[in-house]
Amino acid sequence: MTLASDPPKDGFRLSMLIYDTRFRSVTIQVIVLVLFLAGLFWLLNNAYVNLEAKGKDFNFSFLWTRAGYDIAQTLIPYTNDDTHMRALIEGLLNTLLVSVLGCICATILGVFVGVLRLSHNWLVARIMTVFVETFRNIPLLLWILLMGTILSETRPSPRDFRFTEAMQAAGETPKASMWLFDTIAVTNRGTNVAAPAFSNSLGEVVLPGNIPVSLNALALFAVLAASFWGWRRLMARAKAVQEATGTRPATWWQTPLILLGPVVAVSLGLGFHLDYPVITRFDFTGGFQMLHSFTALLIALTIYTSAFIAEIVRAGILAISKGQTEAAYALGLRPGRTMNLVILPQALRVIVPPLISQYLNLTKNSSLAIAVSYMDLRGTLGGITLNQTGRELECMLLMMLIYLTISLVISSVMNLYNKSIKLKER
Amino acid sequence: MKQSVFFGSLVMAGLVAGVAGASTLDEVKARGELICGVNPGLTGFAAPDANGNYQGFDVAVCKAVAAAVLGDPMKVKYVPLTGETRFTALASGEVDMLSRNSTWTFSRDTELALDFVAVNYYDGQGFMVHKELGVSSAKELEGATICVQTGTTTEMNLADFFKANNMTYTPVNIADDAEGQQRFLAGACDSYTTDASGLAASRATMPNADDIVILPEIISKEPLGPAVRHGDNNWGDIVRWSFYALVEAEEYGVTKANLEEVAASTQNPEIRRLLGLEGDMGAKIGLDNDFAKRAILAVGNYGEVFEANIGAGTSIGLARGLNAQWTQGGLMYAPPFR
Amino acid sequence: MTETSSFVRTDMLPPAPPPVSQTGVIKWLRENLFSGPLNTTLTLCGLGFAIWLVQAAAPWLLHSVWNANSQNECRSIIAETWGPEATGACWAIIRARWHQFLFGFYPMDQYWRIYVTFAALFVAIAPVLFATLPRRMLWLSLLYPLVAFWLLWGGPIWGPVFTALGFGLWAAVFLALSVRLGVVVAAGIGLVAAAVFWIYGVGALEASMQSVLPLALPEVDSDQFGGFLLALVIGVTAIVVSLPMGVLLALGRQSDMLIIKSLSVGFIEFIRGVPLITLLFTASLLLQYFLPSGTSFDLILRVVILVTFFAAAYIAEVIRGGLAALPRGQYEAADALGLDYWQAQRLIIMPQALKISIPGIVSTFIGMFKDTTLVAFVGLMDPLKGISTVVRADLNWKGVYWEPYIFVAVIFFIFNFSMSRYSMFLERKLKRDHR
């Protein structure tokens, strides 16, 4: 019988750095760190030497020079006299707009398709399978191109909407007409919608950075918020009365009155009317115009991503054991309520983590926007600005940094949400 | 597999770094191949045919240089470059020269450290519209939607033109010519603007070419020409004079077909210098005396190149216009070989 | 006694057929398509959509022209046959240029090499995909990359042979030292030895062997690669190289060593946080700043390296998912058996984790393969935009819009659909093992 030998107690020898597993990990880490830093230094040194050799410098002052190009869709005012920085912000806002809307739409469509894929309706289930397989297996770039082309080829040109007196006299009708009492016109360039306008307008304030904010909208929003608060008070009172007396006071006529009354009154006071789109020489003017470059990109991103989300949702639902459904049925819940109250809340835990990656993918994929002429960050900063200034190093690094920031923000927000719905195990 | 190539490349990187700094001419000669940056697909100017061989007006310049330097117009490796990658590729030494319908501008010549050695095509930006719009001048385009290719000088010119005329417009920045043409034909933009040569090429292939007009205004100067890196002046000279040899040949009536005949019989000292029968022109730029002769023999003179690729005989059917010889009222004017 | 005759049936009635609504097509229709108002609405909507789709595309597809020399010829043939207003597809463009869509500018008389490589690909991946095949065939899979490299790029055969020997050297050094020095250190020393051999040995050996026994294929430049050949080369290389990288990154991310862990996390999150297109621009525009001046290596190689990094980050996440799915008991059992870290990984953890991850790896590959279309933005000849632009620049085909896109889309669909079916098959097979 031998006793377990004591660990060697003799002093530290250099060879232990390699042979002793306790120290080996430290050795490896130090070597890796040194190699990493050396590599980093090598790259940066090369960059420095190369810039020097080319007579270039590394600075971002070009961002404050005149951009000189135009952008079709801008969320905040922009002219070609503004700086490249302003163009960058326009591009960034466009990227964010299409990404946020895309994530929302893709989630809705994806859940819808994912649930319908499990439908007992044979035809519907098949159509949804075809939908998912078609959109998942063909490159997104192609879908973006095709959406742009479909919108521009199937819709009539603005001049087909024109209705001249000569045509009236000849008894002809225009080739295309607007929808919903002349409030919506979808041409091959964009969607024109009648916009609310106010004849007694309060004007607008201009925030620093030349960002105008309409006071009308602010006023309406304030009124709406106040009415909502009032409605909550009303509901709370009704509930209190119900709990005290057992009968709930009638609120059905107060609800619409308190919610809509003030808003309507203020709108009328401001002189609310609709600004209809009117056909002019080349295109519709007036109202609100949403260009097809945006619509096409949004549709393509939505559909493509929703195909992936549908699969995630389907997998999530299938992951919930059949016993849950049976238990719900045993309790007398109908299939729809079973899905809403029992299955989906549980499936959500399986669904959310892969859903986050899909949101990230959608945001990153929006950088293909230039294929349908949508000027996003890659179109402005990584496209025209890079091209006109020749500052590829600065532009590309800046662009990577911005996308990285967006991605990190999205994933940390979604991770917080994920934590909040996680099964609390005690 | 790739890993070994990768390590090999890194090692090569170290080795190559040592020899960098040799002149471009020596590099090209040592390599036995000219690397020429071209447009991957621009009708008439540069595009590979069904067999993968690049053809076109810009490509001819590459071939002429290869013939002059290496004696064989086929010893060219063509590198397709996009609007964004072209100048970087040249600056980083990935290509020896750029012959990719690039406009010679002040900032490119200075800030981007390029040398435009000559102009092989004088172009200008024009507008194309559908006839039924009833527009006869670009100044009537107030409020129009205009398709413009992104990544070029055209979008800046467009902004300048509308600003100068105090008009508004909606730009549609399209990524390439095929998209622009499709949008224009579908009527999604009222007008398509790009270089006039490109407009003519597009119009020639449209199904309803008669319903489409190119407006008379040319809103910009677009001198397109081959470019080389700043700093290697000898190489710039080689490209410049290989090209001017073609122009000079046309001026003096030297063609691919009659070259040998002219060389045998001519007494004109200018032609004799051009063809290397007199003087030592070649030696001054590090080549032999026959360099211009080989260039002309390889692709023909400037007029022949023009006619073969984009001239009236082709379906693009561009007129010589500004690109005629100076003796014919154009701007093609080769400095004397002297 | 009153005569009460009770009715007694003496012979059974023949069984009546079930009601019409409960048999055959009608039953199926009722149960599957019209089982309720909601389902009926959905069915009608679906039918309407399908009919609309067919109606929109059918005439154009029916008026296809296969034999023509130019777009204009197509148009006149369609106008002659179907009337002046008819529109139709001009597939003649595909007939004339299919080889460029598939193989780019690869020399036509060398196409057999592509066919052989492609066929060999199936032989090489078969043992990976189907577990029933003998394990010894895995050696074929390991050799395949070098064979494919030689077949596609050509040149003397000795380059790939000695590169393989380099890997052999690496393995030998590793086996000799790993017991004494531990896995990581041994692998590092092996790598250094192999690198020394590749850098200083291969060139000389290659030249001498070539003079003794000249075995070579005509060389093909990588800029002659294009179309689906390019997409496959980039996609397959990226996924093959990124697998080991991804495994290491995933292990690094789970490691206890702080520095290794943070470097892995940093790498993965950075790559996953930026769009692939910016990485491609890095390959084509920025790399020249970060490498010594005068360095120039192939754009395709640069793109492959960056795409590999991209794939590695995604694969690492897939494998991390596989590792996380393993029950804690597996790790503890490995510890209890006295296995060290690498033995546990090799014998217990990785085989299970990789198996769980295969569907994820396949879908990463599908994504990768689709994303190769983005290389057109840096001037490479991908099938979707690169080759289409080239073909449309030909005066004969300028203005052809839909046909190249549809052709490319169909091929992508066939590839990716079969791969996703395979991964579903795997998923089902693996499920049976676990539940």
Residue B122 has pLDDT above 90, yes or no: yes
Confirm whether the ipTM is greater than 0.90: no
Q: What's the domain range around C262?
A: 220-435
Cβ <8 Å between C390 and B41: yes
Which are the contacts of A12, defined by CB distance < 8 A and separation ≥ 6?
none
pLDDT confidence of residue A318: 86
**How confident is the model over C267-299, as pLDDT tens digits?**
999 999 999 999 999 888 888 888 887 666 788
pLDDT confidence of residue A94: 95
Least confident of A69-78, B300-309, C82-91: C82-91
Ordered by start, the domain boundaries in chain B are 2-122+224-328, 125-220
Which residues of B fall within a CB distance of 8 Å from C399? 181, 185, 202, 205-207
Mean pLDDT of B37-54: 88
Cβ <8 Å between A149 and C401: yes
- Quick one: closest CA in B to A80, which residue? B159
CA angle A8, A9, A10 (to 5 degrees): 100
- DSSP character string of B298-325: HH--HHHHHHHHTSTTSSS----GGGSB
Q: Please, what is the average pLDDT of chain A?
A: 86
- Whose CA is closest to A303, among A182, A134, A119, A188? A134
Q: How far apart are the first and last CA of chain C?
A: 73
Closest approach of B318 to chain A, Cα-based (Å): 29
pLDDT confidence of residue C101: 92
How many structural domains is chain C composed of?
Answer: 1
CA distance C3 to C141: 94
Cβ <8 Å between A373 and B173: yes
Which residues of A fall within a CB distance of 8 Å from B112? 390
CA distance B185 to B207: 9
A411, HSE (Cβ side, Cα atoms, 13 Å): 18
pLDDT confidence of residue C434: 45
**What CATH number is given to the structural domain containing C361?**
1.10.3720.10
pLDDT confidence of residue B193: 93
Which residues of B fall within a CB distance of 8 Å from A387? 83-84, 151-152
Biggest CA pair distance of chain C: 126
Closest approach of B49 to chain C, Cα-based (Å): 7
Q: Which amino acid type is present at position C54?
A: V
Residues of chain B numbered 224-243 and touching chain C (CB < 8 Å): none
In a domain, C415, yes or no: yes
pLDDT confidence of residue A126: 86
Ordered by start, the domain boundaries in chain A are 84-151+291-421, 208-272
CA distance C42 to A117: 12
Q: Which chains touch A (3 or more CB pairs under 8 A)?
A: B, C
- Whose CA is closest to C194, among C176, C168, C157? C168
Instruction: Kindly state the percentage of chain C with pLDDT values over 70.
Output: 97
Within 10 Å of residue A99's Cβ, how many Cβ atoms?
23
Cβ <8 Å between C275 and A403: yes
Partner residue opposite B88 with nearest CB, options A70, A283, A392: A392
Show the tokens assigned to C46: 């679906």
Mean pLDDT of B38-50: 87
Cβ <8 Å between B144 and A291: no
Q: Please, what is the average pLDDT of chain C?
A: 85
Residue A285 has pLDDT above 50, yes or no: yes
In a domain, C67, yes or no: no
| Interface test mutation site (partner C, options B177, B205, B318, max chain C beta carbons within 10 A) | B205
Going from the C-alpha of A51 to that of each of A389, B10, C395, the distances in angstroms are 16, 20, 42
In a domain, C254, yes or no: yes
In a domain, C193, yes or no: no
- Whose CA is closest to B274, among B99, B262, B329, B286? B262
Cβ <8 Å between B112 and A384: no
Q: Please, what is the average pLDDT of chain B?
A: 87
Rounded to a whole number of angstroms, the CA Rg of chain B reads 22
Cβ <8 Å between A124 and C46: yes
Which residues of A fall within a CB distance of 8 Å from B220? none
* Structural domain A84-151+291-421, CATH architecture: Orthogonal Bundle (1.10)
Cβ <8 Å between C391 and B41: yes
Classified as helix, coil or strand, A346 is helix
Cβ <8 Å between B85 and C149: no
Identical fold, B2-122+224-328 and B125-220: yes
Closest approach of B171 to chain C, Cα-based (Å): 21
Which residues of B fall within a CB distance of 8 Å from A293? 172
- Whose CA is closest to B9, among A37, C292, C142? C292
Mean pLDDT of C383-409: 87
3-state secondary structure chain C: CCCCCCCCCCCCCCCCCCCHHHCHHHHHHHHHCCCCHHHHHHHHHHHHHHHHHHHHHHHHHHCCECCCCCHHHHHHHHHHHHCCCCCCCECHHHHHHHHHHHHECCCHHHHHHHHHHHHHHHHHHHHHHCCCCCHHHHHHHHHHHHHHHHHHHCEECHHHHHHHHHHHHHHHHHHHHHHHHCHHHHHHHHHHHHHHHHHHHHHHHHHHHHHHCCCEECCCCHHHECHHHHHHHHHHHHHHHHHHHHHHHHHHHHCCCHHHHHHHHHHHHHHHHCCHHHHHHHHHHHHHHHCCCCCCCCHHHHHHHHHHHHHHHHHHHHHHHHHHHCCHHHHHHHHHCCCCHHHHHHHHHHHHHHHHHHHHHHHHHHHHHHHHHHHHHHCCCCCCCHHHHHHHHCCCCCCCCHHHHHHHHHHHHHHHHHHHHHHHHHHHHHHHHHC
Query: Tokens 């669909």 — which residue?
Result: C413
Closest approach of A322 to chain C, Cα-based (Å): 14
CA distance A279 to B224: 40
In a domain, C214, yes or no: no
In a domain, C420, yes or no: yes
In a domain, C199, yes or no: no
Would you call B129 an interface residue with chain A, using a CB distance cutoff of 8 Å?
no
Partner residue opposite A72 with nearest CB, options B111, B158, B170: B170
Domain B2-122+224-328 falls in which CATH fold?
Answer: D-Maltodextrin-Binding Protein; domain 2 (3.40.190)
Of residues B271 and C342, more confidently modeled = B271
Residue C135 has pLDDT above 50, yes or no: yes
- Quick one: closest CA in C to B24, which residue? C294
Which are the contacts of C109, defined by CB distance < 8 A and separation ≥ 6?
none
Whether domain B125-220 has CATH 3.40.190.10: the reply is: yes
pLDDT confidence of residue A7: 53
Least confident of C143-157, C201-215, C252-266: C201-215
Least confident of A116-125, A143-152, B45-54, C133-142: C133-142
pLDDT confidence of residue B6: 42
**How confident is the model over A171-210, as pLDDT tens digits?**
777 777 777 777 888 888 888 888 888 887 777 888 887 8
- Contact assessment for residue C98 and residue C397, using Cβ atoms and an 8 Å cutoff: no
